[in-house]
Amino acid sequence: MKPGLPYLNRIIARFIPDAGTRSAAMEAGEAHFAAYSAVNYADLARMTSNPILGLTTKGYEMTPAQSVLELNGRHPQLQKKGVRQAIAYAIDRNVILRDVMYGYGQPATGPLSRKFKTAGLYTDDLRRFDVPDRIEIANRLLDEAGAPRGADSMRFGLHLEVNSFGEQWLRQAEYLKQALAPVGIDVTLRSEDTATWLRRVYTNYDYDLNEPFLSQGVDPVYGLNKQFLTSQIRKGVTFVNDMFYSNPEVDRMLDAGMREPDPIKRGDIYKKVQQILAEDCPMVWLIDVQYVSVFNTKLHDHTTGPLGTQQAFERAWMDK
């Protein structure tokens, strides 16, 4: 027990599935705190003009995350590295940042968020997909992969499972469909409720493309191992290796990185892993996500450390 703490008598958690209703609750003063971008990015500009509300990106310094595009490695076309790389080249991450994230975040360069840079674990010295001639490269790779254009100019079709966690993910999916069409990939969007979506992707593996956003935690052991270890191909477990990616060298290096105590050697291991993954391209890394919290200005000391809402609310207090 800490004398005099907590200041608040109680905290009531409300579960509001609809994004518009969440925004309305904050604007009306019926809810006082919405973390982890519970309010859609598209609504944030309007929130800043509301005198009872404030915004902060603090409290996420130790919770990096990425928006990604998972590729089902069992699909005949997606088994080809050239096709996977072509998809990565075809996507303009700056469009997603501007039109979906409304400027919150940064274009992802590879498997690790930039937030790992200060720990010496991040590198952008790897295959880059944001080059000026990316569309030409994508078309060449698809030609070389034996995927010619048909009479309708399309090479093949893929289904994209739309992330059900907010309207911004539908907007992202609509852009991805537009981005892949010029290189001859015909994308069909499929939107379902959360339980059906997760079961389809992580239990039934009945998908081609999937657009989750993935937490990377405070260390690559969490952020990379669950996505890319062969042992993490676990039927029925959500947000693990559903791409059927298996590379013995990556398995060995991730195990070594987990055990290596020397920070320099550990950084070298993870930088090499990122380079291999960028080359293999089992998924497409889109955006280093920046979460945003919206709060009622009557609520004080709600964010007091780098773990934000994962820390105690013991010092939070409300104006009367």
Q: Give 2's pLDDT tier (boundaries 50, 70, 90).
A: confident
Q: Give 311's pLDDT tier (boundaries 50, 70, 90).
A: confident
- For CA atoms 247, 244, 87, 80, give the dihedral sign: positive
Query: What is the distance between the alpha carbons of residues 249 and 134, in angstroms, rounded to a whole number?
Result: 28
pLDDT at 310 over 90: no
Q: How many residues does the chain have?
A: 320
Query: What is the distance between the alpha carbons of residues 295 and 14, in angstroms, rounded to a whole number?
Result: 14
Residue 102, pLDDT score: 95
303 — phi, psi (to 5°)? -125, 105
Q: Are 104 and 187 in contact (CB under 8 A)?
A: no
- Decide if 19-61+291-318 and 65-289 have a common fold: no
255 — phi, psi (to 5°)? -65, -40
Query: What is the distance between the alpha carbons of residues 186 and 134, in angstroms, rounded to a whole number?
Result: 18
Residue 107, pLDDT score: 98
The mean pLDDT of 11-20, rounded to a whole number, is 91
pLDDT at 141 over 80: yes
Residue 32, pLDDT score: 97
Cα–Cα nearest to 173, from 209, 147, 208, 143:
209
Residue 267, pLDDT score: 97
With tokens 């042992």, the residue in question is 231
Pairing of strands 185-190, 33-34: unpaired
pLDDT at 1 over 80: no
Fold (topology level) of 19-61+291-318? D-Maltodextrin-Binding Protein; domain 2 (3.40.190)
User: Can you give the residue ranges of every domain in the chain?
Assistant: 19-61+291-318, 65-289
Dig out the tokens for 71 from the structure. Answer: 């590729």
Q: How far is CA 58 from CA 36, 77, 154, 293, in A?
A: 11, 42, 45, 8
pLDDT at 183 over 80: yes
With tokens 């590198």, the residue in question is 123
Q: Are 308 and 35 in contact (CB under 8 A)?
A: yes
pLDDT at 229 over 90: yes
pLDDT at 243 over 90: yes
H runs (alpha helix) in 100-189: 134-144, 167-180
Q: Give 118's pLDDT tier (boundaries 50, 70, 90).
A: very high
Residue 18, pLDDT score: 86
pLDDT at 7 over 90: yes
59-72 pLDDT, tens per residue? 999 999 999 999 99
Residue 17, pLDDT score: 86
With tokens 């509301």, the residue in question is 50
Query: What is the distance between the alpha carbons of residues 185 and 87, in angstroms, rounded to a whole number?
Result: 9
Q: Are 290 and 35 in contact (CB under 8 A)?
A: no
161-171 pLDDT, tens per residue? 999 988 889 99
pLDDT at 19 over 90: no
In the chain, what's the furthest Cα-to-Cα distance? 75
187 — phi, psi (to 5°)? -100, 130
* Residue 256 exposed, middle or buried by CB count within 10 Å (0-12, 13-18, 19+): middle
Q: Give 81's pLDDT tier (boundaries 50, 70, 90).
A: very high
Q: Which CATH architecture group holds 65-289?
A: Roll (3.10)
